[in-house]
Amino acid sequence: MASTDVEHTGGHADVIDTGWRREPADAPSARFGWFGSATKTFYGAAIFFAAFLLLMMIGNHTGHVEDLWLIAFAVGVLYFVVRGWWMNRGKWS
């Protein structure tokens, strides 16, 4: 039966130079090339979703309760976009 022990060599032997920085050999980016989140894509999708929510107010409904919910959700989505942008404004992307 195969052993389940992990071999640790120590030193720099278990570090892979990926070009950007030296990472441990068990880091996902060392095996797959890149990992992270596509922040600009998420922001763009959130802004599109908020605009879509606001555009759904145009319709044949007579009550305004639906409008208030749509506005509340759109403001919530935009809050997270602005908050994320504000928190990451000084970081290098």
Same domain for 44 and 26? Answer: no
Work out the percent of the chain whose per-residue pLDDT is above 70: 58
Confidence of residue 71 (pLDDT cuts 50, 70, 90): very high
Same structural domain, 27 and 45: no
* Residue 56 belongs to a domain: yes
Is residue 5 domain-shared with residue 27, that is, in the same domain?
A: yes
52 and 78 both lie in a single domain: yes
Q: Which domain holds residue 25?
A: 1-36
Classified as helix, coil or strand, 24 is strand
Q: How far is CA 43 from CA 52, 79, 91, in A?
A: 14, 11, 16
pLDDT grade, residue 44 (50/70/90)? very high
pLDDT of 36: 62
Q: Is 44 among the domain residues?
A: yes
Number of domains in the chain: 2
More confident residue, 83 or 59: 83
If asked whether residues 32 and 43 sit together in one domain, one would say no
The yes-or-no verdict on residue 24 having pLDDT over 80 is no
Helices and strands, number each (H, E), in the chain: 3, 2
CB count, 10 Å around CB of 53?
19
